[in-house]
């Protein structure tokens, strides 16, 4: 097992207090954004501590996308205060409910600079008709 990396416990770590995690399973919910265009849904997921695309699993349905990724190193968070808490994280996991139905068969994924980008073509395409 690799040596855990301690996250800072100074005032810069407050953002972790609202983060979604499961300390029992050692799982973090990654930061993400969803962008919707007329033709596709673009899902970007920030997954630091993941080095190889082989460590990432993407499962798609028409209505959802599930991302799971194994971290290269264990990340450890310690907070000192009234209570001493310690948590260790090994992987990321999150399921997204998509705003529109997609066609999973024609979806594409790219992993670059610690960001996973999914391009999910919509199943139903809408067209604008000009009225003369």
Sorted by where each starts, the structural domains of the chain and their CATH numbers stand as: 5-121 (2.60.40.790)
**Between vectors from CA 56 to CA 35 and to CA 119, what angle results, nearest 5°?**
25
- The answer to whether the Cα torsion of 5, 90, 21, 78 is positive or negative is negative
**Global pTM value:** 0.74
1-56 pLDDT per residue, tens: 334 433 444 444 444 444 477 777 888 899 999 999 999 999 999 999 999 999 99
């Amino acid at each position: 097992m690799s040596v855990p990396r301690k996250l800072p416990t100074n005032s810069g770590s407050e953002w972790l207090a609202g983060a979604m995690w499961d300390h029992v399973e050692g799982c973090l919910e990654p930061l993400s954004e969803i962008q919707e265009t007329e033709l596709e849904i673009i899902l970007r997921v920030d997954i630091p501590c993941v080095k190889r695309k082989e460590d990432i699993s993407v499962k798609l349905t028409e209505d959802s996308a599930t991302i799971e990724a194994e971290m290269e190193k264990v990340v450890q968070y310690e907070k000192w205060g009234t209570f001493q808490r310690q948590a260790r994280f090994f992987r990321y996991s999150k399921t997204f409910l998509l705003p529109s139905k997609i066609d999973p068969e024609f979806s594409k994924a790219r992993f670059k600079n610690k960001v996973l980008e999914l391009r999910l073509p919509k199943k139903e395409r809408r067209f604008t008709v000009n009225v003369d």
